[in-house]
């Protein structure tokens, strides 16, 4: 009985990957290394850049450019804010690369 359930779950996961291009746990926003919890770093990066969980590479880069234009030291921001924006961009772009595996 349990074997059949596991077999169906595996089959459903593969079908989800084929149909949606993502594994079910990726669609649910779960981090591969942290079963059952979302990555706090990813959530902070999304909030800082103001992008959704399904943001594309282009969306992330455009949001980063907008934010850096606002917080740049020449516009009254600080170096720390620029570094934080850059780190947020890097986190989200790395997550995109890892989720396409």
Q: Report the candidate in 78, 37, 85, 40 with the shortest Cα–Cα distance to residue 63.
A: 85
Residue 92's pLDDT is what?
93
Mean pLDDT of the chain: 85
Question: Token pair for residue 21?
Answer: 């291009």
Rounded alpha-carbon distances, angstroms, from residue 51 to 45, 89, 97 = 9, 10, 17
The model's pTM is: 0.61
Q: What are phi and psi of 37, to 5 degrees?
A: -140, 145
Range 39-101 classified under CATH 1.10.287: yes
Can you state the angle between helices 40-49 and 79-99, rounded to 10 degrees?
120
pLDDT tens-digit profile of 64-85?
999 999 999 999 999 999 999 9
Domain edges within the chain: 1-30, 39-101
Report d(CA 13, CA 87) in Å as an integer.
32
């Amino acid at each position: 009985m349990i074997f059949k359930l596991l077999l169906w779950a595996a089959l459903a996961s593969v079908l989800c990957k084929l149909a949606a291009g993502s594994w079910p746990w990726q669609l649910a926003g779960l981090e591969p290394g942290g079963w059952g919890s979302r990555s706090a770093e990813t959530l902070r990066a999304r909030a800082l850049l103001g992008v959704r969980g399904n943001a594309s590479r282009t969306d992330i880069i455009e949001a980063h450019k907008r934010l850096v234009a606002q917080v740049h030291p020449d516009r009254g921001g600080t170096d720390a804010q620029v570094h934080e924006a850059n780190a947020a961009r890097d986190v989200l772009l790395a997550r995109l690369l890892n989720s396409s595996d």
